[in-house]
Amino acid sequence: MNSYKELEKLFREIGALEEAESILHWDMSVMMPAGGAESRAEQLAVMKSTIHKMLTDPYLTTLLDEAETDPPVNLWEAANLREMRRSWRHAHSVDGKLVAELSKASSRCEIIWRDARPRNDFTAVSGSLSKVVELVREKGRSKASGIGVEPYEALLDQFEPNIRITDINRLFDDLAEFLPNFLDKVLTRQIAVGGFIKPEGPFNLAAQRDLAAELMERVGFDFDHGRLDISLHPFCGGIPDDVRVTTRYEENEFAQSLMGVLHETGHAMYERGLPVDWRLQPVGRARGMTLHESQSLLVEMQVCRGLDFLTFAAPLIQKAFKGKGKAWLPENMEKLQRHVEPSLIRVDADEVTYPAHIILRYRLERALIDEELEVSDLPSAWNEGMRALLDVVPNNDRNGCLQDIHWFGGAFGYFPTYTMGALAAAQIYSAACKANGNITSAIAEGDFMPLMSWLKENIHSKGSFGSTDEILVGATGIPLGTEDFKSHLEARYLN
């Protein structure tokens, strides 16, 4: 037991360093001047190396071995010990020199991408991306050897513990069979029922920010423990007690930014709801990115694009932009939000075509890691994949393979969790509404408390106590599947 308590102390220190690293990443994306890039890359590399050294220290290894010979009786402590070993296993599988080298390469590549994307210049970043991919391949091989899986699965495991390629293929193959025919039905129905009236801009940027902040607070976001800022790529960062949400604004379009903010607010609410008693311990972290993405997509897609929420929000939106006419009515707003159209940009895609964007990225990043695709061939492979999956082709790389930050920042294995999160979101929201019949009527009044209370009890507060499927079974009665998602799409888009 003394060994376990000493481990808690060490992992609290590791957790504090990881939180500091998260804030440094946020600052790099939001506040840091361009001239700070090299210094920041060095800072982050040192931070990662320090954490890696702590995790691979022989003393920590001895403590783990001792604690596992006489594991804690308390179930949360036992789960924490299991997650400590998982962190140790990932760290021990990779050499410290590679950790530092990949951190520097990813930070530099991300900075170059921030300049290259607006200029539509893939050539400017392709060399840096090739270096990142080379190092990620090495990391995947090292982790695969230590964990006992394929290299790409080892990268997946960083974001979604214990997921396997066969699990993803089972879910994605089901969707790939269902969605093309369903999309045809939806597009045919849209023509029959008529279109929406698009609200006319310009939409004042300060008004957009104020509206976003007001709706964030309605969802439950606490600005005493978080911020809303601007970045090139919207994200939620920071730490549970200091959550950082970012978005980007367009003067001629408000809905994309607003829905993006609500999406990131779902992430923020998950972070804020994690078990307070286990802050800075591995078991107190979010279980994985499938559940994390489920919380953002539940807020954005399941709730905020539905008529219940828009009944409440439409008058606020109209007031914010001084709008007049039928374009601002809830029914028209709902038509606007459920409009389906194959498009180029993932973050702006509707929920019917969105899985195709993820399936493409899943296939491409697997091919990159398995050395079946080189970075120089990525633009053409991307365009061919978009044509095959959605029958649209980017007219430039800015709208193609340059659009996402993930690969340029070294994050390979993350993309599948977006669509797995969408599946989980439909499953969780269905279960929540069945458990509490007041959720939808409360949302129509702008009251998210019934929903958030249920989510905190059944999802957020579980941290990493169980696996993703164990948490889902506890909350919904079944492991992750596609049926609730397909039922949701049919109810929203064909009825």
- State residue 147's pLDDT score: 87
Q: Is the pLDDT of residue 172 over 70?
A: yes
- State residue 194's pLDDT score: 83
- State residue 23's pLDDT score: 96
- State residue 226's pLDDT score: 97
Q: Is the pLDDT of residue 153 over 90?
A: yes
- Catalytic residue from among 77, 83, 110, 264: 264
Q: CA 203 to CA 323: how far, in whole Å?
A: 10
Q: CA 90 to CA 154: how far, in whole Å?
A: 9
- Is 264 among the catalytic positions? yes
The amino acid at residue 380 is S
Q: Is the pLDDT of residue 181 over 70?
A: yes
Where does the pLDDT of residue 347 fall: very low under 50, low under 70, confident under 90, or very high at 90 and above? confident
Mean pLDDT calculated for residue range 99-116: 94
Two tokens at 93? 């599988």
pLDDT in tens, 308-337: 999 999 999 999 999 999 999 999 999 999
Q: What is the pTM of this model?
A: 0.94
pLDDT in tens, 4-34: 999 999 999 999 999 999 999 999 999 999 8
Where does the pLDDT of residue 364 fall: very low under 50, low under 70, confident under 90, or very high at 90 and above? very high
pLDDT in tens, 265-303: 999 999 999 999 999 999 999 999 999 999 999 999 999
| Domain map (residue ranges) of the chain | 112-495
Where does the pLDDT of residue 162 fall: very low under 50, low under 70, confident under 90, or very high at 90 and above? very high
Q: Is the pLDDT of residue 456 over 70?
A: yes
Mean pLDDT calculated for residue range 206-211: 98
Mean pLDDT calculated for residue range 41-61: 95
- State residue 232's pLDDT score: 83
The mean of the pLDDT values for the chain is: 96
Q: Is the pLDDT of residue 1 over 80?
A: no
- State residue 193's pLDDT score: 87
Mean pLDDT calculated for residue range 130-156: 95
CATH code, 112-495? 1.10.1370.30
